[in-house]
Amino acid sequence: MRLHTINVGNLTMENNVFLAPLAGYTNYPFRRLCKGYGAGLCYTEMVSAQGLKYGSENTEELLYTDEKEGVAAAQIFGSDPEIMRAACEHEKLKPFPIVDINMGCPVPKIYKNGEGSALLEDPVLAERIVKACVKSGKVITVKIRIGIDERALVTEEFAKRMEGAGASLITVHGRTKDKVYAGDVHFKEIEKAKKAVNIPVIANGGVFSDEDAERLMDKTGADGVMVARAALFDPQIFCFLTGMPTESKLAMFEKQLKWTGQVCDERFTTVFMRKMAAFYVKGMRGAAAFKDRLFQARSPDEILSIAREIWED
């Protein structure tokens, strides 16, 4: 992976390998873990602008951070330009100098509400949203897909519009909305975005190894890559991509469990870390039996005991 610093508006990230926003996973402890393993920039789970407006407790919990995390980006979604601007200016987004606008989420309830990937079909509204958010004073970035389906690829023109509206960086997931996370990544479409704009373009899709990242960069000319699902199976993929030192899986798990317990209640910590442990044992001999035991665990201490049995050096 060819590493270099990357400018996002008036901010400089120390490298060009980013952690994607992942609903249900990229909470503060997980972002902090990935940042420590070398991720140049980490994104929160996507947050509803409407939820911020109406003071949703769950929405505010998604935005927990502290000075130990360093620079991070908050991702928001919505379809009303003024509500989106108000979200950027919300007290809970103060710690985040970068706000990313989700224009690629394929989830049906988001799409049907005119949000996420639905904005690919309304570039004028998408422009209005970016322009309104830029007025907040935040550095605004946008995450898009290449279109709704193969018959309606919009990457090049949409990227131009986002740059014109004031976006400082664009991430392109090289799949259409209808493919969700399956199918080949369209290198050419990401390349079109890169050639169409003068702001940085981050390529997203299919990065599970250093070789994948290199190929994505080579085929698209992108300025960097964004890692998504691969980080759920092994957050230390960022070590392999950036040259940071690795540690044992047990040490990694203990760290994440501790940090999660420090900022979340016991019930959430138990449920979340059971889920993470299930990702981490994938492919191991006896993984199915370990998963059965993990999902019967009723406390962080029980989970830790099982983890030490699995990964004890």
DSSP letter string, 161-193: HHHHHT-SEEEEESS-GGGTT-S---HHHHHHH
How far from 200 is each of 5, 11, 168, 190, CA to CA, in Å? 11, 12, 7, 12
Residue 158 and residue 294 in one domain = no
pLDDT digits (tens, 9 = 90+) for 82-128: 999 999 999 999 999 999 999 999 999 999 999 999 999 999 999 99
Q: Which domain holds residue 30?
A: 6-242
Tell which of 203, 221, 242 closes a domain.
242
Tell me: do 141 and 288 sit in the same domain.
no
Q: Which of 195, 218, 246 has its CA nearest to residue 1?
A: 218
pTM of the model: 0.95
Is 105 annotated as catalytic? yes
Single residue among 242, 266, 290 that ends a domain in this structure: 242
Q: Are 170 and 269 in a shared domain?
A: no
Residues 27 and 140 in one domain: yes
Query: The domain spanning residue 296 has which CATH number?
Result: 1.10.1200
Shared domain check, 281 and 145:
no
pLDDT digits (tens, 9 = 90+) for 131-189: 999 999 999 999 999 999 999 999 999 999 999 999 999 999 999 999 888 889 999 99
| Rounded Cα distance, 73 and 188, in Å | 27
Q: Are residues 233 and 254 in the same domain?
A: no
Q: 215 and 106, same structural domain?
A: yes
Q: Does 165 share its domain with 274?
A: no
Q: What is the CATH number of the domain that holds 41?
A: 3.20.20.70
| Judgement on whether residues 198 and 255 belong to the same structural domain of the protein | no
Q: How many domains does the chain have?
A: 2
- At 236-251, the pLDDT tens digits run 999 999 999 999 999 9
**Max CA distance (Å), the chain:** 56
Q: Kindly state whether residue 1 falls inside one of the protein's structural domains.
A: no
Q: What is the mean pLDDT of the chain?
A: 95
In angstroms, the CA 177 to CA 185 distance is 12
Do 254 and 219 lie in one domain? The reply is no
Boundary residue ending a domain (215, 242, 269): 242
Does residue 267 sit in the same domain as residue 211?
A: no
| Same domain membership, residue 175 and residue 83 | yes
Residue 313 in this model has a pLDDT that exceeds 90: no
Question: Of residues 105, 133, 239, 264, which has the active-site annotation?
Answer: 105
